[in-house]
Structure 1
Amino acid sequence: MNASVINRFAKIVTSGSAKGRSRRLALTLPLAAVIATGAVGCTPDSTTNAAPTAAPTLSAPATTTAPSTPAPSAATSAPAAAPAATPTAETPAPAPSATTPATPAAKTPAAKTPVSVVKPGGGIEIRFDGLTPGQKIEAGGGTVAFSVTWTNTGTKRYDSVVPVVASQQYEGAACDFIAQTATGTIERKEGNTWKEFPLSQGTGMDYVMGGKSATFPLPSGASRTIQYRIHLDADNGPGTLPVEAAAYDSVTTIKQIANKKIIDTKVVDTHMPKVTVTGGPGALIVGKQAAQYTVKVSNPTKSAFRQVTPTISLPNVVDPKSGDYTKRFIEAADLVVEVQDHGQWRPVAVDHDCNDNLAINTDSLQRALPAGATTEYTFRIGVDKGWTTGNKFNLNFGATADQHRAATVKITPTVTG
């Protein structure tokens, strides 16, 4: 075989390999002729020249149309030297000799083919539809519907994908003694019915069990879409609620098999009552003098509240000078709270709220409140015993209206002996 032809053959093969299987130089067809006529009996290296396996993201390339004027084969002898002729419009330039590298013809663009989701090293990708970052969800409002899609972008088949959707820890939770969890429900559509689950994850992995009945296989390149809807209870305060979608391979091993997808939604509440406090902060004399406060609860909405109650709590009631921050020095029996009712003072029971703070029992203080109206409660708060003279504690005043929570007002009275 002619050495120059062999060199051209090596260059073209190297160029084609470097630029990928999806591109073919126009010289490929003339070289096929070279191989057919001048390389008979030559056996190419199977490792170097074997046809590569098609990449999973691409379909087979379109056949390249051969140039209208084929390049001369290797068997054609070079023409005798002659004076060079100047090309004109009527006289085309002479074809290059076999020893002169031919100029590649214009490449025929290959037809565009859709790219598959499958890619080397892929896995399971998760996508939300109908739930976007910053989307508003009304506390105590209607349900918010959306869907989640799980797509296998890798080459591995998953036989049992457990889909999980739940909210993460929430800053506006009404109760956060153990964990900040939003209250409400999440529903998943199964057939023609909706199956209900707790909205929040909690502190463990039990919430993953909710996906057991929706387990599905996911072959390479396949997708599965599931519909969901969220409802928030009215006692969720405003804040950012992260909604998470994940995938696990088994409810027994709880092995995560996909990167979690998280959408930060915004919880709003347009039905909150408003609280103002007058009086105080004053001084509490242990066992002798109480501090007096008037709590005003107003309804700024356009709808009547069926049930309004004031709230008073004492968070983190410990003695900072004791050196033992695990001990509570004021118990429910030590705190004295009275409310003025028709000109008379009557005691209000003190208990613990869901955050384990001392708090008044509001069962006897419920009232209806028309739209735009305001109601008042006057309290006296004292300490009988159990507190070190000179220390302070915080009083949190608030209210609920049909479970919607008002922003709290903090008052810090001084405690003396």
Structure 2
Amino acid sequence: MPESPSATAPTSRLPSLTGLRFAAALLVFGVHAYSFIPVGGFAHDVGHLLLDPGDLGVSFFFVLSGFVLTWAARGGSARPLGRFFAGRVLRIYPAYVVALGLAVASKWVGDLADPIGNRMNQVNGHNLTTSLFLVQAWYPDDVTYLGINPVAWSLSCEIAFYAAFPLLLPLLRRLTGRALGGAAAFFVVLGLLMPLIAHAFVDPAFQRWFVYILPVTRCVEFALGITLALLVRSGAWRGPGLPLASALFTANYLIVNLLPHQVRDTAAVLATTALLIPAAATADLTGARSIWRHPVLVRLGDASYAFFLVHLTIVTTTMTILGRSHDYPAWQAMSLGIGLLVVSYAVALPLHRYVEAPAMRLLRRRPRPPIPAQRSRQPEQIGVS
């Protein structure tokens, strides 16, 4: 009989979730390639079906972020705050700064190719400051939150999530069983209701920012991830297996463009994401079959953060040089897309290996506080941590 999830949860790495990170990053790459490589006719329609919803991969990342942080918390609680925040900074900032420098350099190259430039990617003191401090998502104007490296607005959200995590985790840990399941359902429904909340209370000019960009709003997905991890770790998760959850997510993804754009742009796949992530985690815990544990996918998933940081810079710079004034034939557009994917990973893999991974290892090298010596081993002391 396979071991229950709750028995192995605190120490399992869950490689399927790493493989799924690659898939989510690929979705985000797809929508950007589709957006910046002009193509017409039937190929455009296919791209609209398969690639246009790819920005929903960001929602997947937000839920996954809450899940893996909770999973990594020892004994079901967050590590000491100083060490936690240091780990988060080392996790995202060194690679981010390198990618930001690459984006600034690419702007210079783009200006040479297109003197008119792109206002969404301009380099000025304001955009550089908000980007360096990762606060751009708190500004409601798109010139700021999409400044320099447009994908970085999501990291601005992640920083806010990290600040909220030491508060959210103890609150949600108080729930058990059905209450946890109810909380997960609540967060899914709340995510779906955000467009209605924005329509009722937010100026129309800022509604998309409120629903899609604002860290407070997107924290709903992060909180959902925390709740799902607690459900799986406690053994209270009752959901479909990985094959069915994958099929439901895929079907959901393929029909999102039929939904009203307010929902499509935000929480269109939130419910099936809430099924897929725990299903993949449970598959790893029970030893069930999972394609996402394949070593190649896990390797690409390990580098998905670096890939996410650099891919749009590479896509936009290349298309600025090549030109977007005409539609490309389908075969040429596909070749361009594959080429940009390869180049993006060719940059991302060394960025992960030589910047991101060494920075993460710095925290592990820090000596742990010494354990005070015990004068005697009384029976009541054995097993106390």
Classify the TM-score, shorter chain. under 0.3
- Greater share of residues in helix: 2
The structure whose RCO (Cα within 8 Å, separation 6+) is larger is 2
Question: What TM-score does the superposition give when structure 2 sets the normalisation length?
Answer: 0.22
Question: What TM-score does the superposition give when structure 1 sets the normalisation length?
Answer: 0.21
- Greater share of residues in strand: 1
